[in-house]
Every structure is written in structure tokens, then in C-alpha cells.
């Protein structure tokens, strides 16, 4: 009989006394001990892990978006492309994750829903940070974070600087295009007004991609990101309707009706409009 294979024979490290191991490096003690179901319902673990993993992916999306914004500001579009492509893929990955959550039926969710109290993804500060960084700056969404000065500082820090889309528009300006009122902006905090000059600039880019290749590529990367982000929102509302129907959300909104309204949000308006005028 052959002996079971021992990888130590080919040099696999088998003793970690006094050495950094995989668990040490990844701080798995913290990560794997951060699931504390409040009920005895079997499916609560799925619900918690689904949210936690989504938040981890959002953390990476924020890391990439911040770096992409810096790269565009520094005229390093080549660097920003890689990061923006990664953000789109992160959302694609989050989209697939809904398939796991969809295995939870309304009967199963009802068993622990009351334990959530008023907590809801509506209070996800990282989700708001992604929206704010992208350019959707609805200041009303700061409300649930006002009791946390540390989070307000992070969110206000993002609002004080140009968004990803603002940076793309400023780049259009640096590239010689007229960007109208966007050229005079100094306050980045609120919602940006759409502007015909920016539409005309994107139109010129899309009419002659060869001449404006980098701007064209950037525009398509942004549309790609928004496309996947929209799919995430659509998958969310469909899952929500499947699990709670038209019940109100734990966060207090109308539930699926609120989320359907959010499907109308447009991050990069002129980039969608330009399709109609080509
Ligand atoms: C069965 C699963 C889920 C249900 C029933 C559900 C339900 C809801 C509802 C009803 C809202 C509207 C706010 C409210 O009144 O509560 C909401 C918002 C939100 N949820 Fe979920 N959700 C689920 C899973 C998830 C997951 C896995 C995530 C990932 C992090 C998530 C993230 C969010 C976010 C970010 C919002 C705010 C959206 C916005 O304001 O545009 N949800 N959810």
C-alpha cells in the first residue's frame, strides 16, 4: 500500500512556531470571528457573510477608485484604465454573488428579519462613498452617518474633492475642449448640473475615436463601470422583491419601491446622452 503523500517531502513548510503563517498574515482570527448571528435561524449566517463579503469587495472598489481618480488628475490615463477595469470586474463579481443569496426563501428570511432591528444596507457608508466618489452626491444620504464623526469625516473628505466623473470632465478641459460651466467649478460637494458643452465635447470624442483615443477609452471604461453598477442595483431590487415582496425596508424606506426609484440614478449623464446624438 502506498503511503499518503506528504508535501513536507518537497519542502512545504509544516511548522509555524515563531513564523508568520497564512492566518496571521490575513488576520483570519478577526475576519472569521466577526460573524455573530442574533437568532438561531440557519440562514442568518448566509445573510451576514453575503453582506460582509460585499463590504470587503466595496473596500477594494474604493481603493481602486481613489487611485484611478489620482491617476486621471495626474494625466496617467494608462494607470487609471487598469484600476477602472478592476472596479467593473468587482461589480461583476458582486452581481454573481446575488445567486447565492437568492437561495434564501421568504420563509427563511422571516425567521430572523426581526433580529436586524432597523439596520439596513441603506446605512452602508462604503456604498455611499462609492456613489460619492463616482459622482452621485445626494447629500441627504449623509443622514444615517451623522452620529459617527469618523465616518462623516471620510464622506465629507470625498465630497470636498472632484469625483471620478468631475476628473474626467476636467481632463476634457485640459485636452482643449470647452467644458462650459464645469471649468469654473470650485465647490464639489453637491450634485453637478448637466451641461451641453460637456455633451458636445464627448460627442467630438466619439465621432473621432482615433484622434481622441485615450479620452474615448476612458469614457468607455466609465460606461462599463456604470453598466455593472446598474446591474448590481437591478439584481438587488429583484432579490429584495423575491424575498420581501413590497414590504417596507428595515431601514424605513418603502423597500422595493425605493430601490426601483434608485434605478433611475445616472452617474455619468452626458456619456449616456452622447449615444443618442451620434
Ligand atoms: C435578502 C437580502 C436583502 C434584502 C431583503 C435587502 C433589502 C433592502 C431594502 C428594503 C433596502 C432599502 C432601504 C431600507 O428601507 O431598508 C436596501 C438598501 C440597501 N441594501 Fe439591501 N437587501 C438585501 C441584501 C443586501 C446585500 C447583500 C447588500 C450588500 C451589501 C445590500 C446592500 C444595500 C445597500 C447598499 C442599500 C442602499 C441602496 C440605496 O440607497 O440606493 N443589501 N436593502
Residue 129, C-alpha cell as written in the block = 462613498
How close is the Cα of 247 to the center of ligand 1, in Å? Answer: 13
Mean pLDDT score, 129-142: 98
Residue 247, C-alpha cell as written in the block = 414590504
The single-letter DSSP state of residue 7 is G
The single-letter DSSP state of residue 209 is T
The number of the ligand 1 atom at minimal distance from the alpha carbon of 124 is 35
The number of the ligand 1 atom at minimal distance from the alpha carbon of 122 is 37
Pocket-testing residue among 104, 121, 122, 264, ligand 1, by greatest number of atoms within 8 A of Cβ = 121
CA distance 193 to 12: 59
Nearest CA to ligand 1 atom 4: 240
Nearest CA to ligand 1 atom 19: 121
Does pLDDT of 1 surpass 80?
Answer: no
Locus of grid cell 446605512: 123
Does pLDDT of 36 surpass 90?
Answer: yes
Q: Per residue in 95-109, is it b (16+ CB within 10 Å) or e — as a string? A: bebbeebeebeeebb
How close is the Cα of 98 to the center of ligand 1, in Å? Answer: 12
CA distance 145 to 123: 7
Alpha-carbon distances, residue 29 vs 24, 36, 37, 47, 59 (angstroms): 8, 14, 17, 20, 19
Nearest by Cα to 221 from 18, 79, 123, 101? 79
113 known member of a binding site: yes
How close is the Cα of 61 to the center of ligand 1, in Å? Answer: 18
pLDDT tens digits along 170-196: 999 999 999 999 999 999 998 899 999
Helix and strand element counts for the chain (H, E): 12, 0
* Gyration radius of the chain's alpha carbons: 23
Nearest CA to ligand 1 atom 37: 122
Is the Cα torsion angle 52, 54, 56, 59 positive or negative in sign? Answer: negative
Domain at 42-273: CATH code: 1.20.58.480
51 known member of a binding site: yes
How close is the Cα of 25 to the center of ligand 1, in Å? Answer: 32
pLDDT tens digits along 55-113: 999 999 999 999 999 999 999 999 999 999 999 999 999 999 999 999 999 999 999 99
Q: Are 46 and 104 in contact (CB under 8 A)?
A: yes
Q: Are 266 and 237 in contact (CB under 8 A)?
A: no
Does pLDDT of 146 surpass 80?
Answer: yes
Taking all residues of the chain, what is their mean pLDDT, rounded to a whole number? Answer: 97
CA distance 278 to 275: 6
Q: ∠165-181-80 over CA atoms, to 5°? A: 20
How close is the Cα of 79 to the center of ligand 1, in Å? Answer: 33
The pLDDT assigned to 103 comes to 95
Residue 177 phi/psi, 5-degree rounding, is: -85, 150
Mean pLDDT score, 122-138: 98
From the CB of 79, is ligand 1 less than 6 Å away? no
The pLDDT assigned to 209 comes to 98
How close is the Cα of 148 to the center of ligand 1, in Å? Answer: 20
In three-state form (DSSP H/G/I as H, E/B as E, the rest C), the secondary structure along 177-196 is CCCHHHHHCCCCCCCCCCCH
Mean pLDDT score, 13-28: 97
Cβ contacts of residue 156 below 8 Å, gap of 6+?
none
- What pLDDT band is residue 2 in, cutting at 50, 70 and 90? confident
Residue 132, C-alpha cell as written in the block = 460619492
Amino acid at each position: 500500500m502506498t503511503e499518503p503523500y506528504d508535501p513536507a517531502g518537497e519542502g512545504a513548510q509544516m511548522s509555524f512556531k515563531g513564523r508568520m503563517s497564512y492566518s496571521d498574515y490575513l488576520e483570519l482570527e478577526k475576519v472569521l470571528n466577526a460573524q455573530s448571528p442574533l437568532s438561531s435561524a440557519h440562514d442568518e449566517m448566509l445573510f451576514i457573510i453575503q453582506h460582509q463579503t460585499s463590504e470587503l469587495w466595496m473596500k477594494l472598489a474604493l481603493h481602486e477608485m481613489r487611485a484611478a481618480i489620482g491617476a486621471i488628475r495626474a494625466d496617467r490615463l494608462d494607470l487609471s484604465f487598469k484600476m477602472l477595469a478592476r472596479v467593473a470586474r468587482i461589480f461583476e463579481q458582486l452581481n454573481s454573488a446575488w445567486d447565492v443569496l437568492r437561495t434564501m426563501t421568504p420563509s427563511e428570511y422571516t425567521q430572523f428579519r426581526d433580529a436586524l432591528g432597523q439596520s439596513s444596507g441603506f446605512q452602508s457608508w462604503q456604498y455611499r462613498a462609492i456613489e460619492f466618489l463616482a459622482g452621485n452626491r445626494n447629500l441627504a444620504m449623509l443622514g444615517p452617518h451623522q452620529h459617527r464623526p469618523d465616518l462623516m469625516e471620510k464622506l465629507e473628505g470625498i465630497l470636498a474633492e472632484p469625483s471620478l466623473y468631475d476628473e474626467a470632465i476636467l481632463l476634457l478641459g485640459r485636452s482643449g475642449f470647452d467644458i462650459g460651466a464645469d471649468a469654473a467649478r470650485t465647490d464639489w460637494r453637491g450634485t453637478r448640473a448637466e451641461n451641453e458643452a460637456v455633451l458636445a465635447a464627448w460627442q467630438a470624442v466619439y465621432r473621432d475615436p482615433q484622434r481622441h483615443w485615450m479620452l474615448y477609452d476612458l469614457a468607455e471604461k466609465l460606461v462599463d463601470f456604470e453598466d455593472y453598477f446598474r446591474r448590481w442595483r437591478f439584481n438587488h431590487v429583484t432579490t429584495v422583491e423575491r424575498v420581501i415582496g413590497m414590504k417596507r425596508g428595515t431601514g424605513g424606506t418603502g423597500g422595493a419601491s425605493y430601490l426601483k426609484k434608485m434605478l433611475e440614478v445616472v452617474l455619468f449623464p452626458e456619456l449616456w446622452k452622447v449615444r443618442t446624438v451620434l
